[in-house]
Structure 1
Amino acid sequence: MKPVLVLFIASFITISLCAQEEKAPRNQSANAAPGKLIGKIVDAKNNKGLDAASVQLFEKNTNTLAGGMLTKPNGDFDISHLSITDTFKLVATAIGYAKQEMIIFFDKSAKGNETVEKDLGNIKLTAESQYLGSVTVVAQKPALQMGIDRKTFDVEKNLASAGGTGIDVMRNIPSVTVDVDGNVLLRNNSPQIFVDGRPTILTLDQIPADNIERVELITNPSAKFDAASTGGIINVVLKKNKKLGLNGLASVGAGTPGIYTGNLALNLRQGKFNFFVNGNYNESGGRAKSETYRQNKDNGIVQDYFNQVAYTDRERRFYSVRFGMDFFLDNRNTFTITQNIGRGKFGNFEDQNQEYLDIHRQADHYGFRTSDNRSNNERSSTQLIFKHNFVESGKSISADINYNHGTNDDNTNILNTYAYPDGSIYSPDSRVRNEGAGRNNQLTIQVDYVDPNGENNKLETGLRTYINDFTSIFNAYSVNNGSEFKLPLSNHYKYQEMVHAAYATYTGKWQGIGYQAGLRAEYSKFDGELVDSAQKFGYQFPQQLKNIWDALFPSLYLSKTIGEGQEIQLNYSRRIRRPDFWQMNPFVDINDPLNIRQGNPALRPEFTNSFEFNYNKTYFTGSFLGVIYFRNTQGDITRYSDTISAEQFERLNNAAIDPSAILSTFVNAQYQNRWGAELTLQQKLGQQLDITPTVDMQYKKVVSNINNTDLSNEGFNIEAKLIINYRVAAKSAFWNKWSFQATGEYESPEVVPQGKRKEMYGIDLGLRKEFLKNKATFTFNVNDLFNSRKRGIISDTESFYQDAYRRWNVRSFRVTLTYKFGKTDFQLFKRNNNGHGQDDHDDRD
């Protein structure tokens, strides 16, 4: 961490000095005549000047910001020190008005250093609102932008997640669901999570919702993307303001249970520099309930019963700081450095009440278990990016290095007591103490090249290297009369994962059909070791030349416009899903003595062939996207459960494990087929109300045989989500600019190899009030209105039948206040220019 901070500080000082020594404005060579634009922003209806309208000027070829300001009270603006040899795009916006864009160029015949002034006259903005009685209706950009290859969700319009985390954001996005452990699913598959297009060591509950600008969903990625994205890609794009001057956002929130949040984001854009910094704090709590009801069987015949009810008090605290800068070396070269530092502190205290019943459901004995867990983690991420734009429009090359580092520690104390119904002791108390620590380092190096060839053709190619080093140490001790005995389930585990990749895609058009063909080649290697026992395991793909297909991942997209606002697309891709750390780590999780979990070091990657047919239609009041898809997964990674063997019980006897405990692990099934249809509609109902319903219907078939036991299963399931938005803009100051949002979701039961997952549903509500000329907002939201989100599963085998559910989060109420501020003429670097202290972009009044 220290070298990174030293590098950042040194870069900051060096570039600051360079900025103060500049002799010519950014967009003007030393010998070129300077350009100046003047004009006025007015209301198209009455020609009155608009105060504080935003005027921004971009270089047309590179889309680089060249200048800007807020208009004076009479609507006037002027932007100086421009290169007259460049072509610009001017963008004028004002609250309640439609955006106006225009292309601008100067008279290039000017000679010498005399300023070339261009008067744009009155630029008219048309009001977007109209009055219906006492209500003003304002056109709004929809929160969800639907495309053939991806969906883009605007997080700022998600009222239910304000003041929350990335998990809260995901719960309110169509096609996305979140399970009880906070795992995100896309169409019932585990997607790859990116932050700003790159792998991250951060979990979504460590990313503040207020820091997220948008979320991109890519259900069937092309060869350009990492092949380890069988379940698709969710790309979280963080906010990074590039407006001129000093701009910021501050928010504070509180709620129940135990919710406290705070966020401060600052951005300084001046000349060739854009500095940004963000600090965040998020704290929450809650008491969650879990239940388990089991029948223990022998060859299918019930022998006895077990019931368990558990309550868990949770505490979570996250701290994070993110800072960095963009340095625009010139019009075509940009350098960016970003540093993220985060820390999390967690506490979980659980009480378990256990009933052991005989065949007649009479109590044989009772158990009581307490578990006190404390854990911490630290995360940091450093990203260096360089991008060069060639003279040819759209042609570019970029290179970036992304380094993630994380550490964690974990301590748990467990006490088990047992008694007969009359209160006498059934067996001696047992105590277990667990301690663990881990370290993770991830390095990603990537180079991408884009070369357009005419209007419809484009070549994209690149190289990528990903290296992931992980070390985990876990020790478990049986505590008896003040002495400790180390248990066999202790382990010291480490691995290194490497993926080297190259890709190429070509986009073109033939006979009115657009196409993109791509091929990605990846060499992957996983080397794992159980240090204490010197046991090594892992995989390598491809192992030899004859297995080269294991390293190749093709993709093909075909698209055609079939009418106004209508497009169809057919696509195919081959992907890989590599087992993660927890799925392969042989560590035994004994937090629940009746339901223990363990990873499987023998797991192998799964390969998926994915086909999609898309139909997209846009019309005046909304849009519709229909998708039919099929996925075939060979070696599907799935969960497998069975009662522990006598040998396993003997090894764990001092860990207070029940003899009839169920051990869950992961195995490779033969294959899984999944057929599905997803329908998404975005529809305006009148001028103030819009709805976005999504329905995903699937039929799944799993074929698996483990230990001569047929685990095959098949069935139909459905997921549905409805988002409703209502916005009021009235003449009354109190009712003006209120927004309401409701999100409801439902997941039907779904088959798994040994049973089914139970249904789950929930409703989130949010409302927002804008005031102080839209600079401040008040948000109130309720997550899980009916406290109904819980993940249940029914398992049915020859040795047991179990109906259980767990939950991680509980219903919460949260209030958040947000304030935006800015000063376009703020200057960090000041220098004399013709006797005036002006920077490269003089946008002061």
Structure 2
Amino acid sequence: MKRFLGVLTAILLTATALVAQQPGGANRGAGAGSSMTGAFYGKIIDSITGKGLEAASVQLYTNKFDSATKSMKQVLASGMLTKANGDFRLENIAAMGQYKLVITAIGFKEVSMPVALIDRAMMEKMRSGAQDMNAMMGALDKDLGNIKLGIDQQILGNVTVESTKPLVQLAIDRKVYNVEKDLAATGGGTAADVMKNVPSLNVDIDGNVTLRNSSPQIFVDGRPTTLTLDQIPADQIASVEVITNPSAKFDASGGTGGILNIVLKKARRVGYSGNVRAGIDMRGKFNIGGDINVRQGKVNFFANGNYGQRKSISDGTTDRLTTIKAPNTNMHQVDESIRDGYFAFGRAGFDYFINNRNTITVSGSAVRGQFKNNTTSHIYVDTLFAVDPKRSYTQRYSDGEGNFRNYGGALGYVRNFQKSGHQLTADVNYNTSKNDNVSLVSNNIFPNFPAGSYMYRYRQQQVGDGTNQQITFQTDYTNPLTDNSKLEAGIRYNQRNNDSRNTFGVMDDNGNVSVLAPLSSKFKYTDRIYAAYSSYTGRFSETFGYMVGLRVEGSNYSGRVHSSVKDGASFKDTSNSYSISYPVSFFPSVFLSKKLKANQDLQLNYSRRINRPNFFQLFPFTDYSDSLNLSRGNPGLKPEFTNSIELSYQKTFPKNNSLLISAYYKHTTDLITRYQAQETNPINDSAVFVNTFINANSSFVGGIEFVAKNRITKWWDITSNLNLYTSKITIDDPAIETTDQLYSWFAKINNSFKLPKNFSLQVTGDYTSKTVLSPGGSSGQGGGGGGWGPTVSGNSQGYTKPSYSIDAALRFEFMKNKAASITLNVSDIFRTRINDVYTQSASFYQHAVRTRDQQFFRLNFNYRFGKFDASLFKRKNIRGEQENMQNSMQGAQ
């Protein structure tokens, strides 16, 4: 039977071929004269870089009998321009024809080659029955593989390339801030300095970031990290992605704050490139750094390094009226803090291109730093007796030293299938950090100030250290089913191991330390998150699209607590294990998009997210390093869930002007919020306030945001941001006072000026009105143990007063191709960046004001070098480096 089918097929194909080759009916091309057709497909790539070439011309020719000349004539059978990744596909091609494929592209040498769907050898096999029907039908869909085009040096000799990425790229679902265009993000700054200029983000004086009055989940290269913002040099950041309402494809963690993804620098251009830089600030602290990237053959190597010294000065005052019990007390505290040290950052890795569709990436990073902290405090306490008020004075000196180390590694694999957009990625990321901290607080106490000279000294020492390990496994699969539909799916596993130890003691005049067991602690915990997602993208029509997705996540905590508890008149050691398993939760998302007339887009989206309590919020022991501001976590916290809805409208105007308007509403249940409670000191039974965390009933954040990009003139560009919002925290407990709902606004403007003589100027400003303290969970900045890391959490009991600031940067570029530059930065020009916070409860009222590094200057030098292959400059207006987000992670999932 197999032989019979083969012979019958061969006869039919032979007859078809004979008819098709008769004079007047000579092979007419695409399907002419033949009932059986097929397709050619393949990929056009650069012979040196291996990258697909967009808009290359692919033409298929065949021969046709010309009745006028009575001879065969070459005619075009099919043709197209390649897609963005170099793919092409020619359909409806007659099966028995002989063809010539011709490929041309600007700046490349022409390539021509003979091709056929069914050749003579296959024909003979079919006649003999050696070729089965399935193999023959498979030949009708023929993969020509990767076709390489070589550089035409003569054509490229006089080509001038001008390609640049804008400072801000706006899209419906995200904003991309290209840091390399930010003059203020150079010269020894950190990621926190970069965030000050990113639309939608607000940064306080300590570098804590909020997004629409909530704290975002912070990623580096699309994955969780143990790095904090002040451990990432600004010079190493390529771009910042702000995703306000992530879909099911993204991590569900982060609660109300969305995702802030920091993309580090990396290039893949053939040849070598890099830069060196050095700078100094107004306090004589210097920084040096450099980047290098080398691409040769199948290997792309990259490395970055930074070393910087920093000295930060902070001043503040705190006034507190306490009404716990009669008599009331009034405290006035004046602080001056100095933080001095160094910071080193290194990162290296390579891409290995196995072939044009398979890539392996290996990278590693190392961070090390040491800072010494010195705080001088003058504390005046008035005891408000009805008849004879008394004043005491405490002179406090706090000296501390902290060391941190962070190491990370990543292994990634990318598989690109023949179909454009069809891709499989897999990666594993590992980060570990370690902190060591020691502090000595000396209190010189004058109980009857200033009447007497009697003084006694009380000195306390705290030693802390901890480690934080994080590992993430993830794989993602994308398959464009049709031109208008796409299926995406993936799985992820994330685990964190945290170990923290704190020893608290009292030091005598001889330097001997007596450990206070009830104030010391040892705490270890592990949390695991399991996740899987799937999403489908499709269209109802040419202008109406949709994406629906579902993410499933489960998580659990396990840990052990070592402590001392009071047993009668003494204390005894105890150890307790605990575990918390959060049930599997579902996180749906729906995105609807509509293209309107005149370059307008409309999108409505909904998503559900979660914010799990972090290590410091769960830590069950009290931090006594500041006896007037005690802190403790709450191991009984529950995760908070947020439902978000957002409506966005975007209009693109001529000359790259654009306007993005977004209305948003986020409702959170079981909000994790800060709370000050009155408790008893276990050492002397005195009444104290402890800053801790509780689950509030609910909260909401809602508002409308405007982001506009405008080119005023050829030399003046403006990016402006206005956010009008309101928020409210609800707690049913009548004993807990909450702040009334406020309507607030936040504005930011970024001016970029191109000045004569290769000068450029950037002036930025921001303003924040009176605001309820952020109801938004933790910042997710990672960090190790052994101390209280930065957290930004909601506070049901306070608000901040209005503040504003203005920064500027001036750059001069020189040498050939503007390879060198000098940049002068100044932050908080008018000394107006102030953190002014009011908090209150039934038993206290507090007003705290702090400033940090006002009117701060930095001077930086940068020199770029490199030698690139001419294939990089094959056409004007080439696309920017899109590999930044695709380098080793292929996006933030």
- SS of 1:354's partner is strand
CA contact (8 A) 1:165 1:209 kept: yes
The residue aligned with 2:51 is 58
The residue aligned with 2:804 is 761
CA contact (8 A) 1:594 1:660 kept: no
The residue aligned with 1:606 is 640
Partners of 1:493 and 1:377 in 2: how far apart?
19
423 and 670 in structure 1: CA distance in 2 versus 1, 3 angstrom threshold: same
Partners of 1:217 and 1:36 in 2: how far apart?
33
Determine which structure has more spread, i.e. the larger CA radius of gyration.
Answer: 2
- SS of 2:627's partner is coil
Which of 542, 545, 557 aligns to 1:526? It is: 557
CA contact (8 A) 2:617 2:633 kept: yes
1:31-74 CA-to-partner distances (Å, cap 9, x unmatched) read: xxxx9999xxxxxxxxxxxxxxxx978323899xxxxxxxxxxx
The residue aligned with 1:581 is 615
The one-letter code of the counterpart of 2:544 is I
The residue aligned with 2:433 is 406
User: What is the number of residues matched between the two proteins?
Assistant: 713
1:384-423 CA-to-partner distances (Å, cap 9, x unmatched) read: 0001111111101010000011111100001011112236
Partners of 1:784 and 1:373 in 2: how far apart?
28
Q: Which structure 2 residues correspond to residues 347-362 of structure 1 after superposition, within 5 A?
A: 347-359=372-384
Question: Identity of counterpart residues, as a percentage?
Answer: 37
The residue aligned with 1:179 is 204
Partners of 2:551 and 2:158 in 1: how far apart?
48
TM-score by structure 1 length? 0.80
The residue aligned with 1:250 is 276
The residue aligned with 2:570 is none
Shift of 1:332: 0.5
Establish whether residue 623 from structure 1 lines up as the match of residue 662 from structure 2.
no
Establish whether residue 473 from structure 1 lines up as the match of residue 522 from structure 2.
no
Establish whether residue 748 from structure 1 lines up as the match of residue 769 from structure 2.
yes
CA contact (8 A) 1:215 1:234 kept: yes
The residue aligned with 1:843 is none
171 and 563 in structure 1: CA distance in 2 versus 1, 3 angstrom threshold: same
TM-score by structure 2 length? 0.76
1:122-162 CA-to-partner distances (Å, cap 9, x unmatched) read: 5799989xxxxxxxxx9964201000000000101111121
Partners of 2:490 and 2:345 in 1: how far apart?
32
CA contact (8 A) 1:224 1:504 kept: yes
- SS of 1:180's partner is coil
The residue aligned with 2:481 is 453
140 and 268 in structure 1: CA distance in 2 versus 1, 3 angstrom threshold: closer
- SS of 1:792's partner is strand
CA contact (8 A) 2:737 2:841 kept: no
Shift of 1:613: 0.2
The residue aligned with 2:593 is 559
Partners of 2:869 and 2:654 in 1: how far apart?
40
240 and 188 in structure 1: CA distance in 2 versus 1, 3 angstrom threshold: same
Shift of 1:103: 8.8
The one-letter code of the counterpart of 1:422 is P
- SS of 2:743's partner is strand
The residue aligned with 2:343 is 318
1:433-467 CA-to-partner distances (Å, cap 9, x unmatched) read: 11011011111000000000111211110010001
Shift of 1:316: 3.3
The one-letter code of the counterpart of 1:59 is G
302 and 60 in structure 1: CA distance in 2 versus 1, 3 angstrom threshold: farther
Establish whether residue 651 from structure 1 lines up as the match of residue 683 from structure 2.
yes
Say which is worse superposed, 662-671 or 251-260, in terms of deviation: 251-260
1:649-706 CA-to-partner distances (Å, cap 9, x unmatched) read: 23367xxxxx564321111100001211111111111111111111111111211134
Establish whether residue 781 from structure 1 lines up as the match of residue 816 from structure 2.
no
The one-letter code of the counterpart of 1:242 is R
Which of 465, 470, 475 aligns to 1:437? It is: 465
Partners of 1:590 and 1:808 in 2: how far apart?
24
Establish whether residue 339 from structure 1 lines up as the match of residue 364 from structure 2.
yes
Establish whether residue 275 from structure 1 lines up as the match of residue 301 from structure 2.
yes
Partners of 2:193 and 2:738 in 1: how far apart?
35
The one-letter code of the counterpart of 2:283 is P
Say which is worse superposed, 415-424 or 632-641, in terms of deviation: 415-424
User: Structure 1: where are the runs of 5+ without partners?
Assistant: 1-34, 39-54, 64-85, 92-99, 129-137, 543-547, 654-658, 729-734, 827-845
CA contact (8 A) 1:616 1:623 kept: yes
Which of 805, 808, 812 aligns to 2:856? It is: 812
Partners of 1:691 and 1:370 in 2: how far apart?
47
Partners of 2:209 and 2:341 in 1: how far apart?
19
Partners of 1:406 and 1:286 in 2: how far apart?
23
CA contact (8 A) 2:600 2:652 kept: yes
Shift of 1:229: 2.5
User: Structure 2: where are the runs of 5+ without partners?
Assistant: 1-43, 57-80, 87-104, 117-147, 564-573, 774-795, 871-893
- SS of 1:439's partner is strand
87 and 218 in structure 1: CA distance in 2 versus 1, 3 angstrom threshold: closer
117 and 171 in structure 1: CA distance in 2 versus 1, 3 angstrom threshold: closer
Partners of 1:210 and 1:742 in 2: how far apart?
19
The one-letter code of the counterpart of 2:661 is G
126 and 727 in structure 1: CA distance in 2 versus 1, 3 angstrom threshold: farther
The one-letter code of the counterpart of 1:312 is S
Establish whether residue 541 from structure 1 lines up as the match of residue 572 from structure 2.
no
CA contact (8 A) 2:495 2:526 kept: yes
CA contact (8 A) 2:737 2:842 kept: no
122 and 786 in structure 1: CA distance in 2 versus 1, 3 angstrom threshold: same
Shift of 1:528: 2.9
Q: Which structure 2 residues correspond to residues 687-726 of structure 1 after superposition, within 5 A?
A: 687-706=714-733, 708-711=735-738, 713-726=740-753
Partners of 1:152 and 1:228 in 2: how far apart?
21
Partners of 1:541 and 1:89 in 2: how far apart?
44
Shift of 1:768: 0.9
The one-letter code of the counterpart of 2:114 is S
Shift of 1:633: 0.2
Partners of 2:277 and 2:305 in 1: how far apart?
11
Q: Which structure 2 residues correspond to residues 80-91 of structure 1 after superposition, within 5 A?
A: none
Say which is worse superposed, 253-262 or 582-591, in terms of deviation: 582-591
Partners of 2:416 and 2:55 in 1: how far apart?
7
Q: Which structure 2 residues correspond to residues 214-229 of structure 1 after superposition, within 5 A?
A: 214-229=239-254
759 and 119 in structure 1: CA distance in 2 versus 1, 3 angstrom threshold: closer
Shift of 1:807: 4.0
Say which is worse superposed, 261-270 or 789-798, in terms of deviation: 789-798
Which of 94, 103, 109 aligns to 2:114? It is: 109
The one-letter code of the counterpart of 1:629 is Y
Say which is worse superposed, 427-436 or 147-156, in terms of deviation: 427-436
CA contact (8 A) 1:259 1:814 kept: no
Shift of 1:588: 2.5
Partners of 1:37 and 1:242 in 2: how far apart?
13
Which of 237, 240, 244 aligns to 1:212? It is: 237
- SS of 2:193's partner is helix
Partners of 1:506 and 1:62 in 2: how far apart?
28
1:589-612 CA-to-partner distances (Å, cap 9, x unmatched) read: 334332222111111110000000
Say which is worse superposed, 585-594 or 372-381, in terms of deviation: 585-594
CA contact (8 A) 2:50 2:356 kept: no
90 and 485 in structure 1: CA distance in 2 versus 1, 3 angstrom threshold: closer
Establish whether residue 492 from structure 1 lines up as the match of residue 533 from structure 2.
no
CA contact (8 A) 1:713 1:754 kept: no
Establish whether residue 771 from structure 1 lines up as the match of residue 771 from structure 2.
no
CA contact (8 A) 1:36 1:117 kept: no
Partners of 2:519 and 2:604 in 1: how far apart?
50
Q: Which structure 2 residues correspond to residues 785-800 of structure 1 after superposition, within 5 A?
A: 785-800=829-844
Establish whether residue 640 from structure 1 lines up as the match of residue 675 from structure 2.
yes
Establish whether residue 169 from structure 1 lines up as the match of residue 194 from structure 2.
yes
CA contact (8 A) 1:690 1:724 kept: yes
Shift of 1:707: 7.6
- SS of 1:713's partner is coil
The one-letter code of the counterpart of 1:514 is G
1:462-497 CA-to-partner distances (Å, cap 9, x unmatched) read: 010001000000000012344432221211011101
554 and 110 in structure 1: CA distance in 2 versus 1, 3 angstrom threshold: closer
619 and 708 in structure 1: CA distance in 2 versus 1, 3 angstrom threshold: same
